[in-house]
Amino acid sequence: MDMEAQRYVWDGAIPLQIHLHESDVATLPAPPPALILAPRIGYLPLLASHLKSHFSSALPPRLDTIWFEYKGLPLKWYIPTGVLFDLLCAEPERPWNLTVHFTGYPVNILIPCEGEDSVKWSFINSLKEAAYIINGNCKNVMNMSQPDQVELWRSVLNGNLEPYRRVSTKLKLGTVGDEYAAKLNLSGETDFSGQVKAGRVPVRLYVWSVSEDFEDLEDAPQIDSWDKVSYINRPVEIQGGEGGRCFTLHDAVKSLLPEYFLDKSLSNEESLTVGDEHEQRVSSEDASSDRKAEEEVENSSEHITSCYQHDDAEIKLVRIQGIQPKLEIPFSWVANNLMNPEHFLHICVYLKVPQANTMS
Amino acid sequence: MDALSWDGTLTSRDFLVSARAFAEKWKEFNSAFPPWTWVPCPPKQPTCYLPQLQQQRQGYLSLEKTCLPGSSKKGHVASQEDIDEISLTEGEEELEPVDNATLVETNNSPQVCYYDFHIVHSDSYRVPVLYFRGYYIDGHPLALDEIEKDLPACSAKVLLESKWTFITQEEHPYLNRPWYKLHPCGTSEWMKLLFLGDDSLAKNGVAVEQYLVSWLSVVGQVVGIRIPFEMLNNPKSCN
C-alpha cells in the first residue's frame, strides 16, 4: 500500500510564533516570541520544555500548568495541533501567533494537564476507543507490552513513522481498504454466508457554525468561544456501495451531516448529486430524518416561512490535515492515509448557519 | 434480542428507550432520592446546530445536586444508604477508636458537597457512560483527591492503581466542559456476562428497558449510588 500520504501527514508541521502572555512577564523588556515548528500530529503541552527554557529569564518564580491561547480562546491541549490550526485558522496564518501562559490555568474550560503523562494517556485512551470502534473490543491496546507502549508513544513524540508502523501493526487495527476490497469480492460472488461486516471508521468531527456569511476564508470571523464549535466522536460505517460503487468522502460527510445534503450543495458542485438520496439510507436510526427529508422535498415548492432551522445552512468547507480533499475520493483512502496516529480521522467542517438561529 | 448472540451494546435509540424506563422505575422505587431526568440537547446552544448528530442522540440522563452516600460530609438526601458508611466507620474504629470522631469532625466543618451525575450514550462504545462532577455549595469544583474521599473504599483503591484508565477528567460530550468519566471500554463485556447469567433473560431475550437498571447496579457501586432491589426485578420474570 502506498504510504506516501501518511508520511506527508507525519512530516507536516505548523510554524508557531509563541508570545509569552504579559501577565507572566516578570522582566523588562518583554522577551521575544519563540519560533517553533510544531508537528501536526503533536500536542501543544509537549512544547513545554522548549518554551520554558526559551522564556526562563522572563518567567515569574511560581509556575502553574502551561496552557495556550489563540486570540483569547484557550486551546484544548488534547486536540492535535494540526487540527486546532485547521479548525481555528479559516485562512491559514503563518506563522501562527499563539500566546502561552504559565499561570492562571482555566480549570473550567480545559481538562487539567499534568505534563507529558496526561497527553500520553489521552492519546492511549483515544487509541483504545478507536480500536473498540474498529474491532468491537480494545484488547490489543490493553494488552500491549510495556516496551511496545513506550515505543509507540515515543514514535509519536518524535514523529518517527517506521517504529510507529512496526508497533501499530501489532494492534491489528487493519486498514479499511483491505476490508472494503474483501467485501467487494464477496458481494461479487454473491456469497452471503461470508459474514460481511461493515467497516467502522473512527472519526472525530468538528463543526464550526458561523452565522455571518463570507465569500473568502480570509473574511471568516474568529472563533471566540468553544460554544461555536461542536465536536464529537462518531464512527462512520463504510457501506459497500450498490453495484460496486465506492464509498466516498462525500458519502461519509453525508452520513455525518445528512441534513445538509437535501437540496443544498457544497461549493464542490460536481461531486454532489441529490439523486442517490434513497438508496443510501439504510440504518433504522436514519428513518426519522428520512421521513423528514421526504416531507421537505415534498413541501419545498410551497416553502413559505416555517422552515426547519437547517434550511439555510450550508457546508462551506471540509478540511482534513490542512487540505480540502476532493469529495469523490474513496473514504477508505482518506481514512487510511489522513488519520492521526491514534487512528482517528479528524474532519473539520465549516458550516454557515442562518443568523436568527444563533441569536435565539 | 437473543441473549446468547447479543454483544452487550446498546444503540442510541435503545438508550433512549432504556433511559425512559429507568427514570420511571427510579421514581417509583426510590422516591426519597431526587429523580433522574432526561435532558434533551438544549436547543438554545449553537452546539445543537450539529443537527442529526444531536437529534439522534438527543440528550442524556441527569441526576443533579445529590450527595454521595459514602460522603463524610453529612446532612442531606442520601439517608437510606448509610450501611456503607457504618461499615466504614466501624473499620476505622477498630484501628483508632479514640481519634476517629474528632478527626471526622474537624475535617468537614460546615462544607457541603454536591454531585451531578450524567449518563451519556457513547457512539464509539455503544454503551452508556457515567460522567460526574462534584462541587461545594458555592459552586467551586472538587478536585479528584477530594472526590476520592467520598468514594467507596474499593473505588479509591482502584483509582490509585489505575490512575489513567479508571476515572479520568474528560470533556463532557454535550457540555464541552471537564467532567469526570468512568472508562467504558469493558462495559459491553460485563453487561453481556450479566445478562447471560440471568436465566429469565436467556429465555426471553434481552429487555432493552432493563439495560440501564442492570448497568447502574454495577457502575453505581463505583461512586456509591445504590439501586433499590425492587428495581432489579425484571417485569418479564414476574409474569
Domain boundaries, chain A: 4-101, 116-173, 198-359
DSSP-derived pairing of the beta strands B127-136 and B167-171:
unpaired
Question: Using the beta-carbon criterion (under 8 Å), do B178 and A142 form an inter-chain contact?
Answer: no
Which of A75, A67, A14 has the alpha carbon at shortest distance from A42? A14
In this prediction, residue B114 carries a pLDDT of 92
Angle, helices B211-223 vs B187-196, to 10°: value is: 120
Task: List CB contacts (< 8 A) between B164 and chain A.
Answer: 117, 121, 124-125
Task: List CB contacts (< 8 A) between A130 and chain B.
Answer: 124
Sheet (strand B113-122) strand order: B37-40, B59-66, B113-122, B127-136, B178-182, B167-171
Task: List CB contacts (< 8 A) between B176 and chain A.
Answer: 226-227, 231
3-state SS class at A10: helix
In this prediction, residue A176 carries a pLDDT of 61
Task: List CB contacts (< 8 A) between A139 and chain B.
Answer: none
Greater confidence, A310 or A158?
A158
The one-letter amino acid code at B199 reads D
Of B12, B45, B46, the CB nearest to A285: B12
Of the listed ranges A36-45, A130-139, B75-84, the one predicted with least confidence: B75-84
In this prediction, residue B57 carries a pLDDT of 52
> Cα–Cα distance between B192 and B214 in angstroms, integer?
11
Of the listed ranges A29-43, A52-66, A210-224, A270-284, the one predicted with least confidence: A270-284
**Predicted confidence (pLDDT) per residue in A122-133, tens digit:** 999 999 999 999
> Cα–Cα distance between A265 and A253 in angstroms, integer?
12
Distance from CA of A54 to the nearest CA of B (A): 30
**A198-359 CATH, one of 3.30.465.10, 3.40.640.10, 3.10.20.90, 3.30.590.10:** 3.10.20.90
Of A226, A259, A351, the CB nearest to B52: A259
> Cα–Cα distance between A17 and A68 in angstroms, integer?
12
Supply φ then ψ for residue B155, to 5 degrees: -65, -40
Distance from CA of B102 to the nearest CA of A (A): 33
Angle, helices A249-256 vs A331-338, to 10°: value is: 90
**Predicted confidence (pLDDT) per residue in A54-80, tens digit:** 999 999 988 999 999 999 999 999 999
In this prediction, residues A280-301 reach a mean pLDDT of: 39
> Cα–Cα distance between B216 and B214 in angstroms, integer?
6
Whether pLDDT at A121 is above 70: yes
Most confident of the following: A181-185, A191-195, A318-322 = A318-322
Question: Using the beta-carbon criterion (under 8 Å), do A128 and B123 form an inter-chain contact?
Answer: no
Question: Using the beta-carbon criterion (under 8 Å), do A109 and B177 form an inter-chain contact?
Answer: yes
CB-based burial, B100-124: b 16+ in 10 Å, e otherwise: eeeeeeeebeeeebbbbbbbbbbbb
In this prediction, residue A243 carries a pLDDT of 60
Of the listed ranges A201-215, A267-281, B27-41, B48-62, the one predicted with least confidence: A267-281
User: Which strand (E) or helix (H) includes residue A334?
Assistant: helix A331-338
Of A128, A232, A360, the CB nearest to B50: A232
Please name the residue ranges forming H helices in B122-180.
144-150, 153-161
Of the listed ranges A124-133, A229-238, B92-101, B186-195, the one predicted with least confidence: B92-101
Whether pLDDT at B233 is above 90: no
Chain B's closest residue to A308, CA to CA, is B51
In this prediction, residue B104 carries a pLDDT of 41
Of the listed ranges A162-171, A246-255, A342-351, B96-105, the one predicted with least confidence: B96-105
In this prediction, residue B234 carries a pLDDT of 58
Residue B230: pLDDT band (50, 70, 90) is confident
If phi over 0 gives left and psi between -120 and 50 gives alpha, with beta otherwise, what is residue A291? alpha
Residue A227: pLDDT band (50, 70, 90) is confident
Mean pLDDT over each residue of chain B, to the nearest integer: 76
Chain B's closest residue to A200, CA to CA, is B124
Task: List CB contacts (< 8 A) between B187 and chain A.
Answer: none
CB A194 within 8 A of CB A181: no
Which of A135, A235, A246 has the alpha carbon at shortest distance from A184? A246
Does the domain at residues A4-101 carry the CATH identifier 3.30.70.120? no
User: Which residue ranges make up each domain of chain B?
Assistant: 12-238
pTM across the whole model: 0.81
Name the active-site residue from B67, B154, B185, B238.
Answer: B185
In this prediction, residues A78-93 reach a mean pLDDT of: 96
Whether pLDDT at A268 is above 90: no
Of A121, A130, A234, the CB nearest to B123: A234
Task: List CB contacts (< 8 A) between A288 and chain B.
Answer: 55
If phi over 0 gives left and psi between -120 and 50 gives alpha, with beta otherwise, what is residue B67? beta
Whether pLDDT at A143 is above 60: yes
In this prediction, residues B44-56 reach a mean pLDDT of: 46
Of A111, A132, A205, the CB nearest to B185: A132
In this prediction, residue B151 carries a pLDDT of 86
CB A109 within 8 A of CB B177: yes
Which of A147, A240, A156 has the alpha carbon at shortest distance from A192? A240
> DSSP string spanning B16-38?
HHHHHHHHHHHHHH-TTSPPPEE
In this prediction, residues B123-140 reach a mean pLDDT of: 93
> Cα–Cα distance between A197 and B104 in angstroms, integer?
57
Whether pLDDT at A20 is above 70: yes
Whether pLDDT at B22 is above 80: yes
Q: Who contacts B88 (Cβ-Cβ below 8 Å, separation ≥6)? A: B70, B153
DSSP state of A320: B
CB A206 within 8 A of CB A230: yes
Most confident of the following: A289-298, B64-73, B88-97, B160-169 = B160-169
Whether pLDDT at A359 is above 50: no
Residue A103: pLDDT band (50, 70, 90) is very high
**In degrees, to the nearest 5, what angle opens at C-alpha B184 toward C-alphas A41 and B230?**
165
Identify residues of B whose CB sits under 8 angstroms from chain A CBs: 7, 11-13, 43-47, 49-53, 55-56, 122-125, 141, 164-165, 168-171, 173, 176-178, 183, 185, 188-189
Chain B's closest residue to A76, CA to CA, is B171
Whether pLDDT at B72 is above 60: no
Percent of chain B residues past pLDDT 70, beyond the cut: 69
- ipTM for the assembly: 0.79
Task: List CB contacts (< 8 A) between B165 and chain A.
Answer: 121, 125
In this prediction, residues A9-15 reach a mean pLDDT of: 97
Distance from CA of A358 to the nearest CA of B (A): 6
Question: Using the beta-carbon criterion (under 8 Å), do B164 and A121 form an inter-chain contact?
Answer: yes
Greater confidence, B156 or A128?
A128
Whether pLDDT at A306 is above 60: no
Mean pLDDT over each residue of chain A, to the nearest integer: 81
Same fold, A4-101 and A198-359: yes
Q: How many interchain CB pairs under 8 A, A with B? A: 105
Of B56, B171, B177, the CB nearest to A285: B56
Distance from CA of A235 to the nearest CA of B (A): 6
Whether pLDDT at B81 is above 60: no
Residue B87: pLDDT band (50, 70, 90) is very low
Residue B238 appears among annotated catalytic residues:
no
In this prediction, residue A299 carries a pLDDT of 38
Of A107, A110, A233, the CB nearest to B141: A107
**Predicted confidence (pLDDT) per residue in B171-212, tens digit:** 998 888 999 999 998 899 999 888 887 766 666 667 888 899
The number of beta carbons lying within 10 Å of the beta carbon of residue A151 is: 17
Supply φ then ψ for residue B92, to 5 degrees: -65, -40
Distance from CA of B169 to the nearest CA of A (A): 6
Task: List CB contacts (< 8 A) between B123 and chain A.
Answer: 232-235
In this prediction, residue A355 carries a pLDDT of 64
In this prediction, residue A318 carries a pLDDT of 96
> Cα–Cα distance between B24 and B36 in angstroms, integer?
9
Mutate: best of B41, B53, B133, partner A, most A CBs <10 A: B53
Residue B69: pLDDT band (50, 70, 90) is low
Question: Using the beta-carbon criterion (under 8 Å), do B165 and A125 form an inter-chain contact?
Answer: yes
In this prediction, residue A245 carries a pLDDT of 77
Which of B223, B226, B222 has the alpha carbon at shortest distance from B32? B226
3-state SS class at B108: coil
| CATH class for the region spanning A116-173 | mainly alpha
